[in-house]
């Protein structure tokens, strides 16, 4: 019997099942440096210990998206090794700050299954949480993927579809309480009250992604999905080449969004996310944002609900998103909906 | 007189000579992060401080192969700057754990020389050790290289060939004593008793290597061999392009072997190693392993002697190695023989 | 009103103006590892805590050029986002050692402006300093850049050109006092008295630079200049491709210069610097040095004033620099003048 991991097929997932994923990871300042070098992230809160300390953090915290990718990466061998498509995210919450030296373990609960009408694939919903070394949940999110069946002849399970919120309620956000936010060091004078619902921001800059870069990032997170690494096998695939991990797109788009959203540094929740198209090495990412909602969280701190859109080889002066047919335009790669804290 | 380093030629090496190599290196958590990002390494023992602590390590240890490459890299300016070929390794032992903050110094003793019959080159054997800041030897190995003579007219030295073991005896292994090995976190239920001598494992996954990646890795180890970095000069070389450092092949193949050997995390010894062919950027590495031997080391911990084979652009379902002529097949790049600890 | 940063135009710069730049950065051992992996730096003083401790440093210090790039990077959004050319450096001084955990903030004072005769651009001089978390200035330098005017119709300001030294006086150098320099570990027996004014050294080795490498380095420093990252936009630029940040050239040339200047590890001052030509991915860098001056600083430590020249695809056996017309040869990329400490 082969000892290599065959992954799980659609039939293997049963609602109520818990999967403890392999390879917990101790996050270090080395990871913080690499994340910065790989994404171009520039938020003062995640770059400068002095800035973080002035705002109530004991030491320099880890960017929530870095923690998210680390947790997500660990789920791949168990959840999506045989996946056809990564369909969406919902109800993602960042519950505890992560600091260098914290060890993150990923655990998933299967919360829904539904076989597709073709009988060859099915959709699996999992809620994944990342726990630190104290057993505290630092982040939690739902994702759903389309997974191959091992044998189409196997009977379909009872469908069970979880009830998911379209967005995390602002009352459920774990809010920081910024004490001494320095606009000059943060890079912007724009704060909570300067952003209006419906406002759109072109982040202007572009970032071209190389094979070495996305492979480094994806291995940093210990995400092993084959499509990102094996050019030889990908020659015979639909795209004929390596596909870049969607988390790389999210992080680079988010880093580009610094230019216009400098003080919305801290991601609090992921409401939804769609990978509308694939990114390949050599492509240039651009990004724009729309303010979807606002909420005051404390006397010092508010939250912006932001749609972050990433495009390929397409500057975002005119905020490209969907065509008249309601479908994403061909150059739109990401439609990501999140809450971020911002000082008042 | 030029001040740049001309390296040593065959005539310069005398048995009994000791070479203290330049640039000791303090290994950090930054190196651990980069090693992970560059190789895809996923062993829980070298990723999670909690996992390491549960098994008797005071803090997260450094992967033995990372320590090996750091020590090896320092020897290049003195041993192999004028080398024609890296012929082999033997009797490599990992004697002390290395932790972030440890400073490694490399020192080599010349233990053998033999001029080739062509009078233009000779073989040099060195035993290299890595010492930590306390003067303790953390690892030790023999390698032999073919080196150019400065002047073919110089007389041949008395040949002196060291007596080398074909493998490190299991009784010479410095064995850990795992206290609380967690199969789920390690990523496998397979332990010592599940592996059989003669068993072969296809590690399935492939990893394509980019120029930037191997250059980053090789510089991380401060290995300066010109063939890895100078594309302009390599245009006129035999291959016409940069050659990837053999240690990059070893580490990526070893990382690929996680898939099927998850709990054989800790390398204890290097018995032998042959770089059967060159790897170039753009090639995809695959790997398979064969269990060559087994030994029980303590009540909790055993060792597997493993042959690790890496191929280029060649999945390993049928375990490619040698042809009927006894020579390595053209796509086989590495034949590496090592001991690894595994819980019982 | 758009919230993305439009940068400053020539008219925006007024002598006497102070600019506090965004995103202070806490430098870590992760940055040290990445700097080594990206440049090939091999100085024992910046690699080994034991070596540094033996020479009076409390812990492993950060390479002065890494600190310089971090400070420089932060100035880009305010100083050179609309720059046409980076014209020069002067009077750069490294005043305090930087250690992992230090947080660097960049602040610039505008010290001169002069509109060009075409009325479309002007030259701006700034003195930039990097401060640590204690408010101590760790480094300070002047640079001048040519910046576009927002509107050529705007009147020219009163010209004001700072008086700059052609070199930092050796009496202004903040000198270390090496206590126990180990030649073998440093990699060279050559010390202060072995170098002569006028001596030239070919550093022999070449380093080919990849897109992923320079992008990683430039993002590590949080330098956001668009020309380095946006291949899509660069297609329509003068060069048709991404331009490599000049600081990458300086650091790789400096790392190459280890081979022949091993013990001149610690940069004390930047006297001048000219980027004579652009570097692109795929090009191979070579370097040579000339000893311009020498000064004894203490009983144990001297300084060498060094010209460091980098070339593209051009080995430096014959020390290429300028043609008979006094202009830099087409393959010369960098002419950099600095002081480095060296043991006596």
Q: Do B206 and A242 touch (CB under 8 A)?
A: no
Q: What whole-number distance in Å separates Cα of residue A75 and Cα of residue A72?
A: 5
Mutation test of the interface with chain C: which of B31, B69, B79, B232, choosing the one with the most C Cβ atoms within 10 A?
B232
Option in A29, A190, A262 nearest C30 (CB): A29
Q: What whole-number distance in Å separates Cα of residue C96 and Cα of residue B155?
A: 54
Nearest CA in chain C to A43: C23
Which CATH number applies to C1-27+62-164?
A: 3.10.129.10
3-state SS, chain A, equals CCCCCCCCCHHHCCCCCEEECCCCEECCHHHHHHHHHHHCCCCHHHCCHHHHHHCCCCCCCCCHHHHHHHHHHHHHHHHCCCEEEEEEEEEEEECCCCCCCCEEEEEEEEEEEEECCCCCEEEEEEEEEEECCCCCEEEEEEEEEEEECCCCCCCCCCCECCCCCCCCCHHHCCCCCCCCCCHHHHCCCCCHHHCCCCCEEECCCCEECCHHHHHHHHHHCCCCCHHHCCHHHHCCCCCCCCCCCHHHHHHHHHHHCHHHHCCCCEEEEEEEEEECCCCCCCCEEEEEEEEEEEEECCCCEEEEEEEEEEEECCCCCCCCCECCCCCECCCEEEEEEEEEEEEC
3-state secondary structure of C81: coil
Tokens coding B322 = 């040698």
Q: Which of A126, A130, A141, A76 is nearest to A271 (CA)?
A: A141
Q: Residue C87's pLDDT is what? A: 87
Mutation test of the interface with chain B: which of C205, C264, C333, choosing the one with the most B Cβ atoms within 10 A?
C205
Q: Residue C280's pLDDT is what? A: 97
pLDDT < 50: residue spans in chain B: none
Regarding predicted confidence, which is higher, B327 or C87? B327
Matching fold, domains B1-27+62-151 and B166-344: yes
**What tens digit of pLDDT does each residue of C273-310 get?**
999 999 999 999 999 999 999 999 999 999 999 999 99
Domain B166-344, architecture per CATH: Roll (3.10)
- pTM of the shown model: 0.98
* Residue ranges covered by each domain of chain A: 1-27+62-164, 166-344
Q: How many CB pairs under 8 A join A and B?
A: 139
CB-CB contact of B293 with B197 (8 Å): yes
Element (H, E) at B16: none
Option in B32, B40, B50 nearest A28 (CB): B32
Chain A residue numbers touching B213 (CB-CB < 8 A):
212, 215-216
**What tens digit of pLDDT does each residue of B288-302 get?**
999 999 999 999 999
Chain C residue numbers touching A194 (CB-CB < 8 A):
3
Element (H, E) at B31: helix B29-39
| pLDDT above 70: residue C91 | yes
Option in C2, C29, C211 nearest A29 (CB): C29
For tokens 């996946």, name the residue.
A83
Chain A residue numbers touching C105 (CB-CB < 8 A):
48, 50, 185
Q: Which of A21, A13, C214 is nearest to B185 (CA)?
A: A21
Chain B residue numbers touching A236 (CB-CB < 8 A):
none
Q: What is the mean pLDDT of residues C27-38?
A: 98
H-assigned helices in chain C: 29-39, 49-54, 64-79, 183-186, 211-220, 231-234, 246-256
Q: Residue B244's pLDDT is what? A: 96
Q: What is the ipTM of this complex?
A: 0.97
Residue C1: band (very low, low, confident or very high) from pLDDT cuts 50, 70, 90:
low
Tokens coding A76 = 């791949």
Domain B1-27+62-151, architecture per CATH: Roll (3.10)
Q: Do A26 and B49 touch (CB under 8 A)?
A: yes
pLDDT < 70: residue spans in chain A: 1
Chain A residue numbers touching C220 (CB-CB < 8 A):
33, 36-37
Q: Which residues contact A281 (CB under 8 A, 6 or more apart)?
A: A209, A210, A211, A214, A241, A242, A244
**What tens digit of pLDDT does each residue of A289-334 get?**
999 999 999 999 999 999 999 999 999 999 999 999 999 999 999 9
Q: Which of B252, B260, B248 is nearest to B319 (CA)?
A: B260
Q: What is the mean pLDDT of residues C202-214?
A: 97
| pLDDT above 90: residue C163 | yes
Chain B residue numbers touching C262 (CB-CB < 8 A):
22
3-state secondary structure of B33: helix
Residue C84: band (very low, low, confident or very high) from pLDDT cuts 50, 70, 90:
confident
Q: Which residues contact B171 (CB under 8 A, 6 or more apart)?
A: none
Q: Do B226 and C206 touch (CB under 8 A)?
A: yes
**What tens digit of pLDDT does each residue of A208-252 get?**
999 999 999 999 999 998 899 999 999 999 999 999 999 999 999
């Amino acid at each position: 019997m082969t000892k290599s991991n065959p992954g799980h097929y659609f039939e293997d997932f049963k609602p109520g099942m818990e999967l403890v994923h392999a390879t917990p990871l101790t996050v270090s300042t080395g990871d913080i440096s690499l994340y910065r070098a790989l994404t171009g992230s520039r938020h003062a809160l995640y770059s400068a210990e002095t800035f973080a300390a002035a705002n109530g953090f004991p030491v320099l915290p880890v960017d929530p998206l870095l923690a998210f990718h680390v947790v997500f990466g660990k789920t791949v061998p168990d959840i999506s090794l045989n996946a056809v498509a990564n369909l969406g995210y919902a109800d993602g919450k960042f519950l505890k700050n992560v600091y260098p030296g914290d060890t993150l373990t990923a655990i998933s609960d299967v919360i829904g299954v539904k076989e597709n009408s073709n009988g060859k694939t099915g959709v699996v919903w999992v809620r994944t949480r990342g726990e630190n070394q104290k057993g505290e949940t630092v982040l939690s999110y739902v994702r759903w993927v389309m997974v191959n069946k091992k044998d189409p002849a196997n009977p379909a399970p009872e469908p069970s579809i979880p009830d998911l919120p379209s967005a995390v309620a602002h009352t459920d956000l774990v809010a920081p309480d910024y004490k001494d936010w320095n606009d000059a060091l943060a890079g912007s004078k724009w704060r909570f009250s300067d952003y209006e619902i419906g406002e759109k921001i072109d982040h202007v800059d572009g970032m071209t992604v190389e094979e070495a870069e996305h492979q480094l990032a994806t291995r940093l997170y210990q995400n092993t999905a084959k499509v990102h690494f094996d050019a030889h096998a990908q020659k015979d695939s639909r795209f004929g080449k390596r596909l870049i991990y969607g988390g790389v797109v999210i992080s680079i788009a988010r880093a580009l969004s610094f230019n216009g959203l400098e003080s919305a540094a801290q991601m609090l929740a992921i409401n939804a996310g769609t990978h509308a198209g694939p990114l390949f090495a050599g492509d240039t990412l651009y990004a724009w944002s729309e303010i979807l909602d606002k909420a005051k969280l404390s006397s010092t701190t508010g939250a912006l609900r932001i749609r972050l859109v990433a495009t390929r080889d397409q500057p975002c002066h005119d905020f490209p998103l969907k065509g008249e047919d309601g479908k994403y335009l061909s150059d739109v790669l990401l439609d990501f909906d999140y809450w971020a804290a911002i000082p008042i």
